[in-house]
C-alpha cells in the first residue's frame, strides 16, 4: 500500500492545517493514525475522510499539555492498533507580541503547547519503547518534532514562539543521542506551508494562496507531509538528530551552531584586551542568517 504499512503513528494537532495533511498522507501510505486534537469535531472529520478513503484512523482528544491525560493517546494507539511506532508532535498556537508588550500569559501559553506539548505524549511513548527494549524485543520507533525557522534564526514579534521552537530543536538533539540505545530515532522539521497560523496575516494569505491555473501548489501542506512520512518509515532508521526544513518541493538540512577556531591567548584576557579578540573572531566568522522581519 505504501511506505508506512501498518506503522502506528500518533499525530498531534491533526484536526486541521499541517496536522490534518500529515494524517491523510500517512494514512494513504498505509499508516494506522491516531488523530489527536482537542477539537473533537475537527479530529472526527479528518478520521472520517481517512476511513472513507480506505485508511485506518481513530480520534484522540488528549490534552498534550497535561502529562497524565497524554498517556491516554499512547494507550489508545496500542489498544486500537496493537503497537506504536512513531509520535509526530505537530500541535501549536501563536501568541505574537513584541517582547516589550508580551505578557506572562502570552509566554506561558506558548511554552505549554509547544515545549511541554512536545514532552508529554513523547515521554509516555518512550517509556513504552524502553520497556519493549528491556524485554529484548526489537524496537524501530520514531520521534518527529516540529520546530520552525523562527526557532532556528529568530523572528521579530515572536520571541516566545522562537524560544519554544529553539528549545524543541535542542530537545531533538538530546533525544537522538539518549534514545538510540532503545531503537528510537529523533528528528525535527521546520515547515513552511499554507495553514491557519501562517495565513492569519492578509499579506501572507495572498502570497501563499493556491494557484488558480492548476500549476504546482508550492505552499500546500502536503508537500511537507511527504518528508515526515519518510521519516516515520522503516527506511529512515539510520537518520537521527537532524533538523530538516521543507517548503514546496525543497528539502534541506538546517546546519546548527558550531564552535569556530577561536582566538586563544594562552592566558587570561584582560578586560581591555577582549575587544581585539572579538575583532579577530568577527573578521573570520560566517554571519548567521538574519532574524525574520529584521
| 3-class secondary structure, 251 | strand
Pure H helices in the chain: 17-28, 40-52, 67-81, 104-110, 117-134, 149-153, 159-179, 202-207, 222-232, 274-284
- Contact assessment for residue 100 and residue 93, using Cβ atoms and an 8 Å cutoff: no
**Dihedral over Cα of 225, 47, 175, 133: its sign:** negative
C-alpha cell recorded at residue 262: 577561536
What CA–CA distance (Å, rounded) separates 7 from 228?
A: 13
Q: Is 161 a catalytic residue?
A: yes
- Contact assessment for residue 72 and residue 83, using Cβ atoms and an 8 Å cutoff: no
By CB atoms closer than 10 A (0-12, 13-18, 19+), residue 251 is middle
Q: Is 290 a catalytic residue?
A: no
Q: Is 292 a catalytic residue?
A: no
Annotated catalytic residue within 62, 128, 161, 236: 161
Annotated catalytic residue within 62, 70, 148, 159: 148
Pairing outcome for strands 243-247 and 250-253 = antiparallel
Annotated catalytic residue within 24, 62, 159, 165: 165
Q: Hey, how many other C-beta atoms are within 10 angstroms of the C-beta on 4? A: 24
Q: Which residues are catalytic?
A: 148, 161, 165
Amino acid at each position: 500500500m505504501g511506505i508506512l504499512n501498518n506503522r502506528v503513528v500518533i499525530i498531534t494537532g491533526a484536526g486541521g492545517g499541517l496536522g490534518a495533511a500529515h494524517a491523510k498522507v500517512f494514512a494513504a501510505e498505509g499508516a494506522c493514525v491516531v488523530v489527536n486534537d482537542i477539537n473533537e469535531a475537527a479530529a472526527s472529520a479528518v478520521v472520517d475522510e481517512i476511513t472513507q478513503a480506505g485508511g485506518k484512523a481513530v480520534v484522540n482528544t488528549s490534552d498534550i499539555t497535561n502529562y497524565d491525560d497524554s498517556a491516554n493517546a499512547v494507550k489508545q494507539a496500542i489498544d486500537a492498533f496493537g503497537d506504536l511506532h512513531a509520535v509526530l508532535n505537530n500541535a501549536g498556537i501563536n501568541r505574537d507580541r513584541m517582547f516589550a508588550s508580551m505578557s506572562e500569559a502570552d509566554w506561558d501559553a506558548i511554552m505549554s503547547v509547544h515545549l511541554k506539548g512536545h514532552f508529554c505524549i513523547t515521554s509516555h511513548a518512550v517509556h513504552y519503547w524502553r520497556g519493549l527494549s528491556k524485554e529484548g524485543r526489537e524496537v524501530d520507533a520514531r520521534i518527529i518534532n516540529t520546530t520552525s525557522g523562527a526557532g532556528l534564526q529568530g523572528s521579530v514579534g515572536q520571541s516566545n514562539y522562537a524560544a519554544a521552537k529553539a528549545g524543541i530543536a535542542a530537545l531533538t538533539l538530546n533525544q537522538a543521542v539518549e534514545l538510540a540505545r532503545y531503537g528510537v530515532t529523533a528528528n525535527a522539521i521546520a515547515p513552511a506551508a499554507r495553514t491557519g497560523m501562517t495565513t492569519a496575516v492578509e499579506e501572507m494569505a495572498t502570497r501563499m494562496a493556491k494557484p488558480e491555473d492548476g500549476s504546482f501548489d508550492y505552499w500546500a501542506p502536503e508537500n511537507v507531509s511527504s518528508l515526515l512520512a519518510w521519516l516515520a518509515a522503516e527506511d529512515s532508521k539510520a537518520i537521527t538528530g537532524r533538523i530538516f526544513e521543507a517548503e514546496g518541493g525543497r528539502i534541506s538540512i538546517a546546519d546548527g551552531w558550531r564552535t569556530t577556531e577561536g582566538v586563544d591567548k594562552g592566558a587570561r584576557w584582560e578586560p581591555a584586551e577582549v575587544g581585539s579578540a572579538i575583532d579577530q573572531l568577527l573578521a573570520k566568522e560566517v554571519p548567521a542568517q538574519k532574524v525574520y522581519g529584521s
